[in-house]
Amino acid sequence: MKTKHNKHRKYAVQLLAVSVLLTITGISYAVYQSKNTKTAPVKSEVKETPQVAQPKTEAKKEEPVVIKDSAILPVPYTLQGPLNNLNIHEESCEEAAALMYHYFLEGQLTFSGSTVITPQLANDEMLKMKAWQVKNYGKEPDLSIEKLGLFAQRYYGYKYQTFKNITREDIKHEISAGHPVMVPVMTHALKNPNYGPVSVYHILVIKGYNAQNVIANDAGIRGESIQYSWDILFSAIDAQTPKMGQRREMVVITK
């Protein structure tokens, strides 16, 4: 019985040894696989946004302006003192000129069937402009052509362009293109008997012309569509140079 027991014991030991050997072999193989197996990197797919071809914008070609033999633009009118209160609006020629130009640009050309801006409306609007100038300039000054353009820009948000050393052709060109022009003058050089005894700095809105004359809105007198000869106009422009230091200049206002 002892010998048989020993045989079984020997057989069990052998089985245990084989089992241990297989286990060690399996572990070694797993470690080997772990060390030598490379994990393929995961590629992140980046989607490219397709480039959409932008349409080419061609610069607008400005049509050449055909200078007409005569022309007139529908610029509405106001007196400088619309309620016969020139004592309040003695220095308001710039405001009156800017107001006429403003309503031209806005397309409001008639007021209750009239081309004259409603007097109360004109008065109220000019008082607002006067107050704005006092607040921003400290007073209501005489505005040069450059400063008049800048005022229209700051007050209304318009654009402006000034022209120097102007000629008849420059005025004709702008009016033919649909732009009234504002020019500086001295009142008495206009040779209009309706002006008082003192010659003062003034702004004219020129809205048309013909072969002999310019057609203006003159707010200093009852001067809707008043005509001054070309020679008188330029003489009046030259007359303001000693006072204002500017020569033959004009300004055009646009939206």
Please determine, for residue 160, whether its predicted confidence score (pLDDT) is greater than 50.
yes
CA distance 92 to 67: 32
pLDDT tens-digit series, residues 161-177? 999 999 999 999 999 99
Domains in the chain: boundaries: 71-254
Mean pLDDT of the chain: 85
Residue 58: what pLDDT?
A: 55
| 219, 80 Cβ separation under 8 angstroms | yes
In CATH terms, the fold of domain 71-254 is: Cathepsin B; Chain A (3.90.70)
- 41-55, 75-89, 132-146 — which is least confidently predicted? 41-55
Does residue 11 have a pLDDT over 70?
A: no
pLDDT in tens, 205-247: 999 999 999 999 999 999 999 999 999 999 999 999 999 999 9
pLDDT in tens, 13-58: 454 444 544 444 444 444 344 444 444 433 434 344 444 445 445 5
Instruction: Name which of 17, 47, 9, 219 is nearest 119 in CA terms.
Output: 219
- For residue 115, the number of C-alpha atoms closer than 13 Å in the C-beta half-sphere is 11
